[in-house]
Structure 1
Amino acid sequence: MMTLPAIALPVRDGLPSLHLPVLASTAACGFPSPAEDFFREEDRLDLNAKLVPNPPATFLVQADCGGSMADFGILDGDLLVVDRSISPRPGHTVVALWEGGFVCKKLYIRNNCIMVLASGSGYPSIIVPEDVELEIWGVVRSSITQHL
């Protein structure tokens, strides 16, 4: 078993850096080449910098989508990394306050109407009436699926 060297954790914007090793190749669904070097010391990734480039504007929320966002890559129980500093645009996945509850949907604007879309055909799109406020809390930067 390969052991990796211990690393110092410098602090960035109040968050410690967490540099993890990155495989030197992609993870194919076939068999890896036995000739490849698996880890290179210079290929390390700081997950905080990658997932949270703007810590003061970022929050986390667990997805409770019931499958409505699965075709967009968000599964029930995923941890969503939401960035409030990104201006929401059509096509972004957003977390919004809608009629007293939070929803995670794709944002679209058609014919001057704001729409939020789910991914599955069994889930209706919501056309936001002009007299109802939809408050966008942030844009989903990434989602984290836990497999264990």
Structure 2
Amino acid sequence: MQARPSLSFFTPEFIPNAGAVFVDAGISAGIPVAVGDINEECLSLDVELVRNKETTFYARVSGQSMIGAGLDDNDLLVIDRSISATHNKIAVCFLDGEFTVKRLKVENGEVWLQPENPNYSSIQVTEANDFVIWGIVTNVIKRV
């Protein structure tokens, strides 16, 4: 059986609620643009990225099975347990004693966990599996 990427979990208390300074200057990714007045305000990533604090948690990706979806090793995922798990959503699942993150494929009464890397195989979920969807990925925080 193929190794599944593991996830290490964080609770929302580990992400600081104190806002960082946000410079709303429209930073150009193309031709540099002269900036007039720079507007500074406090920004809380919890406010920006979390819709429901009671059902949201964070997990760090470990592995390469979802690189095609932009989820790279060490990315921090924002996961909401209140969002319905439907076809094509990216979900954090507990499968047979291990956590994994995959795209849900639901068709013809079957559930598949679809990786986004051709080096990994799809996993069909059956009644024989110990399977729980923990939540849906809503945002990804990357390090550069």
State the TM-score, normalized to the length of structure 2: 0.78
Which residue pairs with 1:39 in the alignment? 38
Encode CA deviations 1:24-52: one digit per residue, 9 max, x unaligned: 32531x33112x337324x6643211112
Alignment equivalent of 1:127, drawn from 98, 101, 124:
124
What residue ranges of structure 1 are gaps of 5+ in the alignment? 1-14
Which residue pairs with 1:113 in the alignment? 110
Measured after TM superposition, the shift of residue 141 of structure 1 is 1.1
Larger relative contact order, structure 1 or 2 (CA cutoff 8 Å, min sep 6)? 2
CA contact (8 A) 1:117 1:125 kept: yes
State the TM-score, normalized to the length of structure 1: 0.76
Which residue pairs with 1:71 in the alignment? 68
Which residue pairs with 2:28 in the alignment? 27
Cα distance change, pair 16–63 in 1 and its aligned pair in 2 (3 A)? closer
Matched, 1:103 2:100: yes
SS in 2 for 1:63: strand
SS in 1 for 2:47: helix
SS in 1 for 2:54: helix
Alignment equivalent of 1:52, drawn from 50, 53, 72:
50
How many residues matched? 129
CA distance in 1, matches of 2:87, 2:99: 18
CA contact (8 A) 1:25 1:38 kept: no
CA contact (8 A) 1:20 1:47 kept: no
Rg larger for:
1
SS in 1 for 2:129: coil
Which residue pairs with 2:13 in the alignment? none
CA distance in 2, matches of 1:37, 1:114: 53
What residue ranges of structure 2 are gaps of 5+ in the alignment? 1-15
Quote the RMSD (CA, aligned, Å): 2.0
Which residue pairs with 2:3 in the alignment? none
Percent of residue pairs bearing the same amino acid type: 33
Amino acid at match of 2:51: P
Matched, 1:90 2:87: yes
